Amino acid sequence: MDSVGALLKRLEQLNDIGASLSKERDITRLLEQILLAAKTITHADGGTLYRMMEDGRTLRFETLRTDSLGIAMGGTSGVAISFPDLLLYDDSGVPNGSLVAAYAAIHSQTVNIADAYSTSDTPDFDFSGTRLFDARTGYRSQSMLAVPMKNHEGEVIGVLQLINAQAPDTGKVVSFSTADQSLAESLASQAAIALSSRLLMTQLEDLFESFVSLINLAIDEKSPYTGGHCQRVPALTMLLADAVSATTTGPLAGFKMDERDRYELKIAGLLHDCGKIITPVHVVDKATKLHTLFDRIHLIDTRFEVLKRDVELQALRQQLSLRGCTDAAAESDVLADCQERIASLDADRDFLRCANVGSESMPEMSMQHVRDIGNGRRWRNVEGVETEFLSADEIENLTVRAGTLTLAERDTINYHIVATIKMLEQLPWPSHLKNVPEYAGGHHERMDGKGYPKGLTREQMSVQARIMGIADIFEALTARDRPYKLGMKLSQAMSIMASFKANGHIDPDIFDIFLQSGVYEHYAAQFLDPWQIDEVEL
C-alpha cells in the first residue's frame, strides 16, 4: 500500500502527464505517451492501448510495450503490430466478453485481475491466447488492468490494458492496487479528453484543408494552367523552408520551425493564389497575344483573305480590260503584280502570326512593323467601310514586348494577390495560423521594395514570405504547363534566379540555401520532365 507521500508524488505525476498530453499534436505520439504514462504511474511491466474503430464493433491495436521482454510495437517504434483486431461482437451480434479488453469496452467498466492463471479469479475470461504467448516467450502474464477510455459524451473510444504491476522496491509482480486502478482511471479520463480534442482538431484541420483544396480545384477547373501551380508552390515552399530551418551557419542559422510553424506555412502555401478565383479565365489562359475567348488571329486571317481576293479581282478586271487589244505582255505584268502583292500579304500574315506568339522579348523593329501593317494597309469591313487593317486594341496586343499580356491584363493578373490578401484577412484565423495572410500575401514583393502590392522591403517581410517568393518564381520559370511557353531547363532557370538575387528581387541568403542544399534538384526530380534536368554550375 502506498504511503501518503508516494501517493502525492504519483498524483503530481498524473497532473504533469495531463498537461503533457494536452500539448501533443501528433495522434500516434499521443497514443504512445498515454500508454507509457499509464505504465509509469502504475509501475506496470507491459501494456497495450487499443483504439475503437469507427464501426464501434472493433478494437484496433495502436501501441504495445513489454519492458522485461524488450517488446515495442506500434506508435513511434517503427515495428508494425501483427496481432489481429479484437472483435467486440460475433457475426450474430453476441458480445465477445471473453477477452478482457473487449469486456471493458463493451461494458464500459474497468477490469482488475489479480492473477490470470487463477481460475477462481477469472471464470468468465479466455486467456488461451495469453498463455500461448507466455509459453512462446517464457513470460508470465499475471496481474491485469483494463480501463475503458471514455470521451466527454461517455462513449468508449479506446481501452488501456496494463500487465503485471511491479512492487517499486522489489520489482516483484503484484496485483494492481485500488490506488493503481484509480490513477489509471483518472489518467484514462484525461487521455480520452486529450485524444478526443486532438481527433476533433484533426477533423477540423482536415475539413479546413478540404475547403482549401476545393478552392484550388475551382481554380484548376477554371484553368488547367494554374491548378498545378497551386500544388507545386506549396511543395517547393516546404522543401525550402525545411532546408532553411536545418541550416546551422550563416545569417539564417537562428531560423527554426516546429510542427505548428510548418503547418501554418503549408496552409499559406496552399492559399497563396486563392485570389485567382476571381481572375478572368481569358486572361489567365491567354496563350497568344490576341487570345480572349478565342484566338483573334483568325479574324485577321480572314481580312488577309479578303485583301487577297480584292487583289485577284482587281487583276482579273485589268486582264479583262485588255482582252480587246490582246496585249499578252500587259496581262503578264498584271498577273506578276498580283502575285507580288499576294506574296506581300502572305508575308505580312505570317509575320503577324509569329508576332501573336508570346516570346521572351520582341524587338522594337518588329513592333513597328506591326504598326505599319495595322495603319498602312486598308480593308473593307463587313459594313463596306474602308478602315485600318488592325484596330488599336489589336496593335496593342500584338506589340506586347514579352509574353502575351498587355499592361492592363498584367494589372488584372497582379490584382489576384490583392484579392488574396483581402480574402485571407477576412477570416478569423486562430493564433497558430494568424500569419497566413502575411506569408501568402508577400510572394510578389521584392527585397528592394519594388514588388507589389505593398512595396515591402526585405526587412519588412518574414522569412516565410521570402521563402514563398523564391518558390513562386522558380515554379513559374520551370512550369511546363503554361499556355504561352515551355518550361525552362534547370540551368537557365537557376541563371535567372541568380540574376534576381543580384538585382534585389529575391532574398540572397535564402537563395544561397536553395542552391547549396540541392532543394532545386529534389524538386526537379519530383516535378520536372527529364529533358529539363541538366547540369547547374554552382
Q: Which residues contact 42 (CB under 8 A, 6 or more apart)?
A: 145, 162, 165, 176, 180, 183, 184
Which CATH architecture fits 223-283+409-532?
Answer: Orthogonal Bundle (1.10)
Percent of the chain at pLDDT > 70 equals 89
Over the range 384-396, which residues count as b (16 or more CB within 10 Å of their CB) and which as e? eeeebbbeeebbb
Q: Of the candidates 385, 401, 75, 24, which has an alpha carbon nearest to the alpha carbon of residue 190?
A: 24
pTM: 0.65
pLDDT digits (tens, 9 = 90+) for 73-99: 998 888 988 888 999 998 888 888 888
Of the two residues 491 and 229, the one the predictor is more confident about is: 491
3-state secondary structure of 74: strand
314: pLDDT confidence band, cut at 50, 70 and 90?
Answer: confident
Residue 348 phi/psi, 5° resolution? Answer: -65, -40
Average pLDDT over residues 416-422: 87
pLDDT digits (tens, 9 = 90+) for 484-525: 567 789 999 999 999 999 999 999 999 999 999 999 999 999
The pLDDT assigned to 96 comes to 85
Q: Is the pLDDT of residue 154 over 90?
A: no
Of the two residues 25 and 451, the one the predictor is more confident about is: 451
Q: Is the pLDDT of residue 436 over 90?
A: yes
Percent of the chain at pLDDT > 90 equals 39
pLDDT digits (tens, 9 = 90+) for 334-388: 888 888 988 999 999 999 988 888 766 888 999 999 999 989 888 887 777 788 8
Domain topology for 4-201: Beta-Lactamase (3.30.450)
The least confident of 169-173, 187-191, 320-324 is 320-324
Q: Which residues contact 476 (CB under 8 A, 6 or more apart)?
A: 229, 482
Identify the residue whose cell numbers are 513592333. Answer: 367
Domain segments of the chain as ranges: 4-201, 223-283+409-532, 297-402
